[in-house]
Amino acid sequence: MSTVGLPFPPFKTGTGRARVVEEGCSVMQDTARVATTSAPVQVRNLVKVYGAITAVAGLDFTLEPGTVTALLGGNGAGKTTTIAMMMGLVVPTSGEVSVFGADMARHRHRVLHRMNFESPYVDIPMRLTVRQNLNVFGKLYGVSGLEARVAELASELRLGTLLDRPYGELSAGQKTRVSLAKALLNSPELLLLDEPTASLDPDTADWVRARLASYCRDRGATILLASHNMVEVERLALRVIMLDKGHIVADESPSELTGRFGRSNLEEVFLDIARRTENAGGELARDTQA
Amino acid sequence: MTPMEHRSPHLLMQTGLSATWRRMRAIILRHWYVIRSSWPRAAELMYWPMVQMLTWGFLQKHLADTSGLGAVAAGLFIGGVLLWDILLRCQLGFSVAFLEEIWSRNLGHLMMSPLRPWELIAALIVVSLLKLAVAMTPVALLAYVMFGFNILSLGFAFAGFFAILVGTSWSMALVSTGAVLRWGLGAESIAWLVGFLVLPLSCVYYPVTTLPGWLQPVAWALPPTHVFEGLRAVVLNGELRSDLLLSGLVLDLVYLAAGMVVFNMLLKRAREAGTLVQMGE
């Protein structure tokens, strides 16, 4: 990955040893970032160009099994495009995303049943009841014992009284719980989450984070979390990949990151990076284009 | 073990016909839930075909009463309108089912699920037939009760006409939904208008010879034209024109193949352009 010319303290990859946090998830203790065949996700020199705009400018990273990694960055940093390429919804201009060994640009259907995602920007049909929606998605993913699985999730996610109500009539918090049920329906080994707690009240957001942490621990699942909520990231993630204008500008544990920037929390680091980029007077943009 | 062979104990087989049919059933079920849960929606499916049929039916009756045109009384207009609505409702049934995934911002979930694009198309074809049955069965019954026209009296010809018209409707729907995938909801109007674009050239209510000479080859290049010329042959002369049925079916296959190629091409372009992640109202 290229960080030449970036106005940030230098960082090294492949050196991190994950801290074990109480609520975060790490089935693997060693987070050495070298590509291994067992890594669920391998991103190699990933580039996406839309016309004159470089959305993603050569990303390299690997996600290890059973870990939560946060993908951070301001608006237009390339998070959504990166996640979309990981899901195979967008084809890279060059480079490759490999999920469970399958090239997502060409063979994504080989592994889509092993992953799932949740985003407040993608809805599920409003007119269908919660039960009908979960039934439809359960069939799409081929969930065995679907009725029992829906009942299990309804119990875990406190959906019992909502199952026969149309999804469109639910509150934002209730909808998020249903979306989470949809995302966990197939017990995915890889879960991609885009702003999973956006527009939720603090209590519901906290509850969702706890559910995600326990799912990751119990299932040994790998989670990639895109979020603007730094408290959430600090609580859940063992590793932070920070993007700016399509480049990786940081890839380390939250504590390493705050230490390197001499800040007390991720929020301050995020603001630091955003302001240094602004003050760099567009150098980064020029580097990206070069 | 390949990624495909990897099987979670929580999941059923992901390959093979049963897996394909299960995923298709999920999409069919999703649309059936919508139709079933809302009677105004089901009524809406029947509304326009019924208005059309009544309008043309009364016009036909008036012409038969005042001009003594026996052929008109035999069902030329009503047959035309019923067959035309088969094409239009089937095309809209497919296109609107697809658009509903975009209106409800659900397309991302579907595209991210193990559902293959061709399985989605096959499921939408079944949904279009389902909606067609809901829309046209009461209308066809009403045509019989009010005007004494039984569409099934066309016999074998009706089966051929039906096959050609639904084939054409699916090819039009493939192109219009492909355009929406590629260019977003800005292209939605294509889905609504494409049927009406071919209406005057399909010669539903008049023979091809009515068109200017230079336009006639264009009309003959459209499969529905062969259907409506065939209908006139049955109604006016009691003749089953197998040549028209055959040419219509051959053209249909060409249009369907072209529709699939265009849909695939536009889906590929949508994945390159990143429009799939921006879908929604």
Q: What is the pLDDT of residue A27?
A: 52
Q: What is the mean pLDDT of residues A134-151?
A: 96
- Burial A119-150, CB ≥16 within 10 A → b, else e: bbebbbbbbbbbbbbbbbbbbbbbbeebeebb
The per-residue pLDDT for A22 is: 45
Q: What is the pLDDT of residue B235?
A: 87
Average pLDDT over residues B142-161: 90
| Lowest-confidence pick of A103-117, B26-40, B65-79 | B65-79
Q: Please name the residues in contact with A212: beta carbons below 8 A apart, sequence gap of 6 or more.
A: A68, A180, A191, A193, A196, A223, A225, A236
Instruction: Indicate the length of chain B as a whole number.
Output: 281
Task: Examine the pLDDT at B23 and tell me if it is beyond 50.
Answer: yes
Contact of B37 with chain A, judged by CB distance below 8 Å, is answered with yes
Per-residue pLDDT band for A288 (boundaries 50, 70, 90) equals: very low
Residue A247 scores a pLDDT above 50 = yes
Asked if residue B183 belongs to a domain, the reply is yes
DSSP secondary structure string for all residues of B10-50 = TB---SSHHHHHHHHHHHHHHHHHHHHH-HHHHHHHHHHHH
pLDDT of residue B145: 92
Distances (CA, A) of A33 to A38, A239, A248, B139: 12, 10, 14, 66
B11 touches chain A (CB under 8 A): yes
> Percentage of residues in chain B with pLDDT exceeding 90?
63
pLDDT > 70 fraction of chain B, expressed in percent and rounded: 93
| Within a domain: B29 | yes
The domain containing residue A200 runs over which residues?
41-116+188-289
Residues of B in contact with A137 (CB under 8 A): 26, 109, 113
Instruction: For chain A, say whether B4 makes contact (Cβ under 8 Å).
Output: yes
Q: How many helices (H) and strands (E) does chain A have?
A: 9, 10
| Helix B117-147 / helix B242-273 crossing angle, nearest 10 deg | 140
Report the chain A residue with the minimal C-alpha distance to residue B8: A114
Chain A partners within 8 Å of B23 (Cβ): 139-140, 142
Tell me if chain A has a CB within 8 Å of the CB of B15.
Answer: no
Average pLDDT over every residue of B61-74: 71
* The token pair that represents B17 in the structure block: 């016909």
Q: Is residue A141 part of a domain?
A: no
Residue A285, pLDDT > 50, answer no
| A60: in domain | yes
How far is C-alpha B3 from the chain's CA centre? 38
Cβ contacts from A onto B, under 8 A: 137
Residue A97 CA: distances (Å) to CA of A55, A83, A93, A108: 15, 10, 11, 10
pLDDT at B280: 53
Subunit contact A122:B23, Cβ cutoff 8 A? no
Q: What integer best gives the mean pLDDT of chain B?
A: 90
Tell me: pLDDT of B154 over 80: yes
Query: Does B110 lie at the interface with A, CB-CB under 8 angstroms?
Result: yes
Whether B25 and chain A come into contact, CB under 8 Å, resolves to yes
- Residue type at A224 in one-letter notation: L
Tokens 């003959």 locate to B220
pLDDT at residue A37 above 80?
no
Total domain count for chain B? 1
Q: A203: pLDDT confidence band, cut at 50, 70 and 90?
A: confident
What are the distances in angstroms from CA A268 to CA A5, A234, A260, A264, A282?
Answer: 22, 12, 12, 7, 21
Which of the four pLDDT bands, split at 50, 70 and 90, describes residue A271?
A: confident
Distance from C-alpha of A271 to C-alpha of A139, rounded to nearest angstrom: 44
Note down the domain range covering B55: 18-278
Measured CA angle at A154 (ends A148, A158), to 5 deg: 155
Per-residue model confidence (pLDDT) at position A10: 59
**What three-state secondary structure class fits A95?**
strand
Please determine, for residue A31, whether its predicted confidence score (pLDDT) is greater than 70: no
Q: What is the mean pLDDT of residues A223-240?
A: 91
B280–A119 C-beta distance less than 8 A: no
Mean pLDDT calculated for residue range A198-226: 89
Alpha-carbon span B11 to A182, nearest angstrom = 14
What is the arithmetic mean of pLDDT over A264-285? 73
Spell out which residues of chain B touch residue A140, defining contact as CB-CB under 8 Å: 23, 26-27, 110, 113-115
Judged by CB atoms closer than 8 Å, whether chains meet at A136 and B26 is answered as yes
Exposure pattern of B17-49 as b/e (b: 16+ CB <10 Å)?
eebbebbbbbbbbbbbbbbeeeeeebeebbeeb
- Give domain status of residue A156, yes or no: no
- At which residue do the structure tokens 């237009």 appear? A76
CA distance B104 to B279: 10
The pLDDT, as a whole number, for residue A36 is: 45
Using an 8 Å Cβ cutoff, are A247 and A57 in contact?
A: yes
Please give the Cα distance from A10 to A259 (Å, whole number): 12
Residue B61 domain-assigned? yes
Cβ-based neighbours of B217, under 8 Å, separated by 6 or more: none
Residue A40 pLDDT exceeds 90: yes
Distance CA A171, CA A39 (A): 37
Q: Which residue has the higher pLDDT, B3 or A254?
A: A254
Does the beta-carbon distance from B277 to A144 stay under 8 Å?
no
Count how many domains chain A has.
1
Candidate from B109, B116, B274 with C-beta closest to A84:
B274
Residue B275 tokens, joined: 């429009």
Considering A92-96, A121-125, A207-211, B72-76, the range whose residues carry the highest mean pLDDT is A92-96
Tell me the C-alpha distance between A290 and B11, whole Å: 46
Q: Retrieve residue B185's tokens.
A: 């909801």
Chain B interface disruption, residue of A111, A123, A153, most B CBs within 10 A: A123
pLDDT band, very low/low/confident/very high, at A207 (cuts 50, 70, 90): confident
Query: Has residue A145 been placed in a domain?
Result: no
Please give the pLDDT value at position B137: 93
Kindly report, residue by residue over B197-255, the tens digit of the pLDDT. Answer: 899 999 999 999 999 999 999 999 999 999 999 999 998 888 899 999 999 999 999 99
Question: Is residue B1 domain-resident?
Answer: no
pLDDT per position as a tens digit, A51-90: 999 999 999 999 999 999 999 988 889 998 999 999 999 9
Beta strands in chain A (DSSP E): 41-50, 53-63, 68-72, 94-99, 102-103, 115-118, 190-194, 222-226, 239-244, 247-252
Is the CB of residue B202 less than 8 Å from the CB of residue B223? no
- The residue with greater pLDDT, A285 or B71, is B71
What's the CATH code of the domain at A223? 3.40.50.300
Mean pLDDT for A154-171 is 93
> How large is the average pLDDT for residues A227-234?
88
Closest by Cα among B271, B45, B84 to B178: B271
Residue of A nearest to B7 (CA): A114
In a domain, A142, yes or no: no
Give the pLDDT score at B92.
94
pLDDT value of position A4: 39
Residue A20 confidence (pLDDT) above 50: no
Q: Report the 10 Å Cβ neighbour count for B216.
A: 16
For the record, the structure tokens of B193 come out as 């208008």
Residues B135 and B133: their CA atoms lie apart, in Å, by: 5
Query: Which among B10, B38, B277 is the nearest to A143, CB-wise?
Result: B10
Residue A30 confidence (pLDDT) above 50: no
pLDDT of residue A113 exceeding 90, the answer is yes
Higher pLDDT pick, B2 / B260:
B260
User: Which amino acid, residue B78?
Assistant: I
Residue A11: what pLDDT? 59
In a domain, B226, yes or no: yes
Whole-number pLDDT of residue B173:
96
Q: Over the stretch B178-203, which tens digit does the pLDDT of each residue have?
A: 999 999 888 899 989 988 889 999 99
- pTM exceeding 0.90: no
- pLDDT at A116 > cutoff 70: yes
Q: Is the pLDDT of residue A92 over 70?
A: yes
> B221 — alpha (psi -120 to 50), left (phi > 0) or beta?
alpha
Residue A100 belongs to a domain: yes
